[in-house]
Every structure is written in structure tokens, then in C-alpha cells.
Copies of this chain bind each other. A is one copy, B any other.
């Protein structure tokens, strides 16, 4: 069995920089009905075509009046007004308010001309058409000015922002019915290995079920992308090359799992240079060393370790930022925070960055790692730390910086 050692291993952060610098972001756009935009990435900065509120209105239930006429009002010396009408939210008052007059207004009702404030219900008493106000009311009190919330021309959403309920609501408020978003990133997933059978088949002797497609596919979909799970490719360099070339048609990236190391049957290191320009092979990270990448016409072709944990671990620190870039998000997917390490860890291997998956709970990070081949190592891991190599054992309680994955991927 022929094996060649890895050459010099590349620093994982440098590998990430290389990937991000050459990966071509999606340029496809689509226009969606507003409600369907949830979680999508905005493709065009939208400015409000109108002012909200469109008219000066009451922002509380109460009585519209001239604020200066409440000067000096007190519990024992209330300001008195004639009640000359009542306005519900959809109604206007037909004439300007005269001195000494007040109009009952419901929240949202247009303010009568002449009125400049609303005495809120709780601060008043009314009986037989007479309103008593027990405190001075400031000008503008309980009034929403035209454009106070959204000015005409104000930016509502920016290119690259994720559409949240609040953003969708603000677009709807100004009458937008559709929203332009970037197309979902399309990733082809190609497992490689003679020993692999699709997960719905029963493995024979020496065979194992392929399920990196399931894991990575869910990961990609959970981050807004589309994944095409291809059937496993055999250990045949021509066939692998043909399958990668096919997959590059119609996809923005191809992620191959397995065959990424330096063994005789690891064909990817020989195939990738034929498909595109090599970016790296071999990273100084654990797990995840046997990772390689090439770029072909702005499309990234990745070779990932077949070990499920190594593969998903790479997804955390390497593929999330890659998806973020290709999806054109301007808001980071990974959220940085500091937690306390719940059990001792280390020392870390010299020369290698360690990826430490963690389950977060009440400010503590519980390591979940059970070895690079373990399927369950990352189950329940909602965050990870990257620990530099050659560092002494970290004690329980030690604060460490982690990156949190959003649900449903973390």
C-alpha cells in the first residue's frame, strides 16, 4: 500500500482566508412574496417610499388637546375642557380644535388640527361632556408625528442582511409586497469510497453506511443553502474527476467527503489539481487535517475527511464562514462569546490547532468530543472553541472564547 506523507501543513486560519478570498459569492437574485423572504439574504437595499406614520396620530388612548391649556393643572385644580367629539383609529375630525376643546381619541386616530398633545386616559376624568386633566401635558405627549417612525427614503433593509420578522414587518408597513433576495447557494455533496453504501441500504461485510451527505446536507440547508446529495463515487480517479466536473455544472461548490488523505486510495489530492487550482492540502488542525481545496472558475471544490466528526468539525469553523461569504451575508453566522470550560481539556497537540466542540449551558461549555471517527462526538454541540497547539492543560472553570452555532445547526 503506497502512502506519501503530508507536506507542510497549512495553518487553518490561513486556509480559511484563502478559501474566502477566492470563493465567488452567488449573483443570482430572486424576487419573493414578502412572507416567503424569512431567513433569506436581502439582495437590494430598500428605502421607504413613504413616511410612517403617514399622518400625525395619537399613540395612546386619551384626549387630544392644546398642551398649553393644561399649564398648572393639578389634582385639586384640574384643567377643564369641553369634549367635542371622539375619534376612532380610522376617523378624522372635520374642523380645527378651538380653545378649551378636547376630542377623545383612540390609539392611531389622526390628531385634530390645532391639537398638539394627548392627555392619556389614566390622567383624566370625564363626565357630562366635561374633561378634567390633572397634570400638565407636555407638547407632543402621546402623539406620533408624521414620519416619526420611518422617514421617506429611510433605509429599511440593506443588501446582505438576513430577513427577520421585524424587517419583513417594516417592509410590509410601507407597502412592499415582494423582496429581492440572493439565490440560495447550491452545494453538491459527493461521498467517495468503495466501502460506502447509501444510508438506506444494509451494509455488507466491511461496508459502512454513508451519512456525511445527510449531516452536511442538513447543515447546508440549516444555513440557507441547497444541497444535492450525490451517490457515493468509487475509488477510481477518472470517475471521481468526471463526477466532480458534472457536479460543478449547476452548483456553486462541490464538497467531496473521503479520499482526502495521503493513502493509496485517496485520489482527491491527485484529482483536484486536474479540476482547478489547488489552494491547500493538509491543515494543522485536529480533527480535520486531511482537508484540501481547489478553485475552478470561482467555484470551490473541497475534499473533506470522511470521518464524520472531522467532517462536521470542519463544517463548523471552515464551512460556516465559507457559506456566509458565498451567501453574501453581512451579519456573522457564528456568534462569539466567552464561557467557562466545564471539564479540564488538554494539553493540546504541539503544532496543531484543536477544535473543541462544546455544549453550552448556563455560561459553561461542556466538551462533547469523543474522537474523530465518532458519529456522536458532535451531537448536542452548539458551539466550538479553537485552541492553539502546544498549550498546557486548561483547568475546569477557565474562561474560553467560543463560537456559537445557530439552531437548527447547533
Q: How far is the CA of A221 from the CA of B290 in the complex (A)?
A: 39
Q: B residues within 8 A CB of A207? A: 90
| B106:A172 contact, CB within 8 angstroms | no
> Could you say which of A65-73, A196-204, A390-398 contacts chain B?
A196-204
Query: Of the candidates B107, B168, B407, which one forms a contact with A307 in the assembled complex, judged by CB atoms under 8 Å apart?
Result: B107
Q: What chain B residues lie within 8 Å of A35 (beta carbons)?
A: 214, 217-218, 229
In the bound complex, residues from chain B placing their C-beta under 8 Å from that of A195 are: 88-90, 108
Q: Are A166 and B1 in contact (CB under 8 A)?
A: no
Closest chain-B Cβ to A200's Cβ sits at a distance in Å of 5
Known: A35-B217, A214-B34, A261-B61. A164 touches B373 (CB 8 A): no
Q: How far is the CA of A172 from the CA of B212 in the complex (A)?
A: 9
How far is A384 from B293 in the complex, measured between Cα atoms in Å? 41
Question: Once the chains bind, are B107 and A164 in contact (CB under 8 Å)?
Answer: no
Contacting residues, chain B, for A144 (C-beta < 8 A):
371, 373
What is the distance, in angstroms, from A141's C-beta to the closest C-beta of chain B? 12
Query: With A150-B376, A195-B89 in contact, do A169 and B108 touch (Cβ < 8 Å)?
Result: no
What residues of chain B lie closer than 8 Å to A108, measured between beta carbons?
193, 195, 208, 306
Q: Tell me if A5 and B122 are in contact (CB < 8 A).
A: yes
**Chain B residues with CB under 8 A of A169:** 211-212, 214-215, 218, 308, 312, 375
- With a CB–CB cut-off of 8 A, which chain B residues contact A200? 175, 177
- Stretch binding the partner chain, chosen from A52-60, A242-250, A296-304, A344-352: A52-60
A336 to B361 CA separation, bound complex (whole angstroms): 9
Chain B positions within 8 Å of A262 at CB level:
61, 121
A237 to B314: give the CA distance in the assembly, Å: 58
Query: Cα distance A217–B214 when bound, in Å?
Result: 29
Give the total of A residues in contact with B, Cβ under 8 Å.
Answer: 105
Q: Most chain-B CB neighbours within 10 Å: which of A108, A261, A362?
A: A108
Q: Give a binary string over A262-297; 1 marks a CB under 8 Å from any B CB, 0 the rest.
A: 111100000000000000000000000000000000
Contacts of A212 in B (CB 8 A): 169
Which positions 157-205 of chain A face chain B at CB distance < 8 Å? 162-170, 172-175, 177, 193-195, 199-200, 202-203, 205
What would 16 A/B residue contacts be, using CB atoms closer than 8 Å?
A: A34-B199, A86-B264, A88-B195, A89-B208, A107-B373, A121-B262, A162-B407, A164-B409, A165-B215, A166-B215, A168-B218, A169-B215, A172-B211, A172-B215, A175-B209, A406-B407
Known: A88-B265, A107-B263, A164-B407. 18 other contacts (CB 8 A): A1-B106, A3-B104, A35-B218, A38-B221, A52-B375, A53-B373, A91-B206, A107-B307, A109-B206, A166-B215, A166-B380, A169-B212, A169-B312, A173-B375, A175-B209, A335-B360, A335-B404, A337-B363
